Structure 1
């Protein structure tokens, strides 16, 4: 029987030059490159176990839903969130933080913060197609700036991954077009009064991730895997990756998105030889209208 591996998620290095890596328990990694064959399954009698919190295993080994991207039980999720900068529960972090504008597709811009030492890794992890820094300073100054800009510019601090996936095959062709929305918002942000004195503004310098994600010329995805199931498997070829999402060309020729967060908590094994293993469930993307509707029926 093949040894099962436990996936700890997908990791991006700042800049995206080395591509994404799958991280496994025990600090092992698998580097992912475009065209790489992907073939794995889930243990036939496997259970998806809570991944724990703050680097510690779940003490009760609670079974969690196959559709959960967090892969944590309620207790571990509360513990993880209690120490999260994103949840605004950690105010004593001495590190400097960047405030940024990130663009995921037409009409999808968010404002956020990330530790300066992490560089662009957080933006790659979120699947930001392009971004620009707005400024840098202490955590609380960065947090206050984020809140002010969110209200003044009318942009959120979160965008659902389902929305990001839905527009990846319809991105503008040039970097200038993709940066246009954040260029306008960056200028508006710089003109606002009330920035904290301890936060140093930064000029507009857009960074584009289309090449880093492999989306330049990549075929459009037709759907997404909704969950992994015991005894199921997937075989395919990696054509692109953005944030936690792997774009896989499956054996039938279609490209389907696998959110790598769905892999965590399962015992992952090599896919057995041959065909016929149950595939993981797939949900097709809604078909886009090709013309404006001018009649009700």
Structure 2
């Protein structure tokens, strides 16, 4: 993970292992991450806008360290305008799937994703368990999503901070599967009355991702990286990951710090020895309330 002008492009989940993306001009590369392996870097210089739709920011704008978007206002607007969520592509010919995602007790959402992406979207969001609900054209999938959100009383977004807060206290596999099955049954109670006819229902098949993420092994993390700073180091052993979050064992003990990789986008990062196992960037306490700004 050398410097040389390479800037982090965030984490992605094309399969069952997280990958960090890197870019330098038009060049792209990825680093596949493995649990138990070392991960370490030092932030260099200033954080620059990540651009939009795979293109460089024409202004090379500096963005705030705490921004999880990592884009200037104009690039953020362009990126959003071309997303599926913006409903700007009603004639999209691709097939979409509607899903029911469970993140923890009381944390549920309904969403859609392109069928060709498989479960990548669910891994990117950190869904602990999920089931598909149906498949069909974009607008039918979007309509079903809206109907189910209203009927089930679930939000369209769940803050990552809330997802992190419950990962260390997840119920057992049977209870997780039961929660998804119960919501699935409620959703299908609306079929034939409010579902679009062009949406093909899919059978219940609960997919549990606890093992994929490596979570649920004791107490959850107590601290998270608040932001990177020039010269700041983050180094440790990767013990788990969920969505954009990497869980790093640091300090030579059992302490685990969460790194939201959305905070990495736009930074140039240089390598540090894996054995460093230190964090010298500002941290926020997610286990008891408070902020730590020193070395950990």
Query: For structure 1, which segment, 26-35 or 140-149, has the greater mean C-alpha deviation from structure 2 after superposition?
Result: 26-35
Which sits farther off after the overlay, 112-121 or 216-225? 216-225
Going from structure 1 to structure 2, the CA distance change for 1:111 and 1:249 (only over 3 Å counts) comes to same
Matches within 5 A, 1:195-234: 195-217=195-217, 219-234=219-234
**Inter-partner Cα distance in structure 2 for 1:103 and 1:216:** 15
Residue 173 (structure 1) aligns with: 172
* 8 A Cα contact 1:219 1:255, kept in partner: no
Aligned CA distance change for structure 1 residues 271 and 202 (closer, same or farther; 3 Å): same
Structure 2, gaps ≥5 residues long: 290-296
Which residue is equivalent to 2:94? 95
Q: Is the Cα–Cα contact under 8 Å of residues 111 and 157 in structure 1 kept in the other structure?
A: yes
The residue that corresponds to 2:155 in the other structure is: 156
Distance 2:150 2:134 in 1: 17
How many residues in Structure 1 have an aligned counterpart in Structure 2?
282
Is the CA contact 1:235–1:251 (under 8 Å) kept in the aligned structure 2? Answer: no
What is aligned with 2:117? 118
| Kept in 1: contact 2:223–2:286 (CA 8 A) | yes
Per the alignment, residue 27 of structure 1 pairs with: 28
Please say if residues 225 and 258 of structure 1, whose CA atoms lie closer than 8 Å, have aligned partners that are also in contact. Answer: yes
CA RMSD of aligned residues (A): 1.9
Q: Kindly provide the CA deviation profile for residues 192-246 of structure 1, in whole angstroms up to 9, marking residues without a partner as x.
A: 1221110001111100000000114255211100101001001210000000000
Following superposition, the deviation at residue 177 of structure 1 comes to 0.8
Greater Cα shift, 75-84 or 176-185: 176-185
Counterpart residue number, 1:69: 68
Cα distance in 1 for partners of 2:94, 2:246 equals 32
Question: In 1, distance between residues paired with 2:147 and 2:93?
Answer: 21
Q: Distance in 2 between matches of 1:240 and 1:73?
A: 30
TM-score by length of 1: 0.90
Shift of 1:89: 2.9
- Which runs of 5 or more residues in structure 1 are unaligned? 289-297
Distance in 2, Cα, partners of 1:89 & 1:233? 41
Give SS of 1:67's match.
Answer: coil
Q: Secondary structure at the match of 1:28?
A: strand
Who is 2:235 aligned against? 235
Normalised to the residue count of structure 2, the TM-score between the two structures is: 0.91
